Amino acid sequence: MLRYLIRRLLQTAVLLLVVSLVVFALVTQAPGGPSILLDRNMSQAEIERMRAILGLDQPVYVQYVRWLTQVLRGNLGISYQAGLPVLEIILQMLPNTLLLSAASLVLSLVVAIPAGVLSAARPYTSLDHTVTFLCFFGISVPTFWLGLMLIVLFSIMLGWLPPGGMQTIGAPRSILDMARHLILPAVVLGTANMALFARYTRSSTMAVLRQDYVRTARSKGLAERAVLYRHALRNALLTIVTVVGLQLPRLVGGAAITETVFAWPGMGSLAVRAAFERDYPMIMGITLMISFVVAASSLLVDLVYVFIDPRIRYG
């Protein structure tokens, strides 16, 4: 177990290194500098001095090594635009993105697993066909468009839910208020995964239901419910956990779009802004942090296997 953990951590470190290298090269080699250097009021000399202060006059590898040594000391640099430490800004936004992602993940699992199991228990019935049909809708609908449509329906026409933001401006901070703001973004972000997880739950449960031990469970007189949820689902869960793990990188990508649609103050909207403003330290910090969080969550998912399936041992 320990050896497995160490190997995984090393792999993660290599991955982060490569990602940061690629993005760094992309950012520094692209034509045009950061947008703070495009200020018309600055003279050429001032721009040159600014470049020197930011270290942009150095060769790329020097810049990268400098950045990396600072990162290893826990310093992600200062945002060009905000003038604040990148880490500080990210740590403010990251919890919001994690909250949104986690809420949508929970929501999609809570809907998808029962839907998938029921479909598998009654295959080729109208219930099964309906679920399959809805799954195709969920996989095909553009996230941001779904968001816009739900805003039109629930916020503008019905007035039930707020159209964006994380809390009502001016109102005292309350969990209930935040939850109301969370509903639409979580549904929008969760839709595609809901559909995907339901499909995988269905197919893996169907495969499990054909096995001998399920027949044994049935023949010893267990209620169908117990057979399905206690015996079949437990084995089917392995597939679902795998799929959840594989979807994590896409989940944060979806979060970026969802956050933009709902003005949710998170890493996604931060990233879009940083990209447009060519805020190098911010871009690097966000990429590194998001990749790290995704890698850490994937590792967590792998460890969940052990709890679901006692047969699995990592050596």
Partner 1 sequence: MGSARSATLTRPAPAAGRVQTPAGRIAARFRRNRLAVTALTVLAGIHLAVILAPWIAPGDPDTVALVQRLLPPGQQHWLGTDEYGRDVLTRLLYGGRVSLAVGLSSMLASMVLGVVVGALAGYSGGLTDVVLMRITDGMLAVPLFFVALMALAMLGATILNLVLVIALTSWMTVARVVRAEVLRTRELEYVLAARAIGCSGLRILARHVVPQSIPSITVAATLGVAYAVLLESSLSFLGLGVQPPAASWGNMLSGARGYLRTVPGLAVVPGVMIFVTVLCYNWFGDGLRDAIDPTLAER
CB-wise, 15 or 222, nearer to partner 1? 15
Which residues, 230 to 259, sit near partner 1 by CB under 8 A? 246, 249-250, 252-254, 256-257
Q: Is 142 in the site for partner 1 (CB under 8 A)?
A: yes
Residue 295 engages partner 1 in binding (rule: CB under 8 A): yes
Give the CB-side neighbour count of residue 11, counting CA atoms within 13 A.
10
**Contacts with partner 1, 120-139, as mask; x by CB under 8 A:** ---x------------xx-x
| Contact criterion met (CB below 8 Å) for 165 and 264 | yes
Q: In which residue are the tokens 């809907």 written?
A: 111
Angle in degrees, 0-180, between the axes of helices 86-121 and 175-209, rounded to the nearest 10 = 40
The values of phi and psi at residue 85, to 5°, are -60, 135
Determine if 306 is a binding residue for partner 1 (CB under 8 A).
no
Shorter beta-carbon distance to partner 1: residue 26 or 62: 26
Spatial distance between the Cα atoms of 3 and 78, rounded to a whole number of angstroms: 37
The only residue of 97, 119, 193, 291 in contact with partner 1, by rule CB under 8 A: 291
Interface pick for partner 1 out of 10, 21, 179, 275 (rule CB under 8 A): 275
Is residue 33 close enough to count as binding partner 1 by CB under 8 A?
Answer: no
Q: For residue 120, give every residue at least 6 positions away whose Cβ sits within 8 Å of its Cβ, in sequence order, or none.
A: 201, 202, 203, 205, 206, 209, 232, 236
How far apart CA 315 and CA 305 sit, in angstroms, is 14
Cβ of residue 45: shortest distance to partner 1, in angstroms?
26
- Binding to partner 1 by residue 50, rule CB under 8 A? no
Q: Give the number of residues in contact with partner 1, rule: CB under 8 A.
A: 49
**Is residue 298 within the footprint of partner 1 (CB under 8 A)?**
yes
- Rule CB under 8 A: choose which of 23, 56, 178, 304 binds partner 1: 23
64-103 footprint of partner 1 as x/- string (CB under 8 A): ----------------------------------------
Question: For the packed helices 280-308 and 86-121, what is the interaxial angle rounded to 10 degrees?
Answer: 40
CB of 223 to partner 1, least distance (A): 26
145 binds partner 1 (CB under 8 A): yes
Closer Cβ to partner 1, 5 or 275, answer by number:
275
CB atoms within 10 A of CB 77: 20
With beta carbons less than 8 A apart as the criterion, state whether 49 and 253 touch: no
Q: How many CA atoms lie within 13 A of 249 on its CB side?
A: 7
Q: Find the shortest distance in angstroms from Cβ 151 to partner 1.
A: 6
Q: Please, what is the minimum distance in Å from the beta carbon of residue 203 to partner 1?
A: 5
Question: Going by C-beta distance under 8 Å and a sequence separation of 6 or more, which residues neighbour residue 203?
Answer: 120, 239
Q: Is 39 left (phi over 0), alpha (psi -120 to 50) or beta?
A: beta
Q: Under the rule (CB under 8 A), what is the footprint of partner 1?
A: 15, 18-19, 22-23, 26-27, 30-31, 123, 136-137, 139-145, 148-149, 151-152, 156, 199, 203, 206, 246, 249-250, 252-254, 256-257, 260, 271-272, 275-276, 278, 283, 286-287, 290-291, 294-295, 298
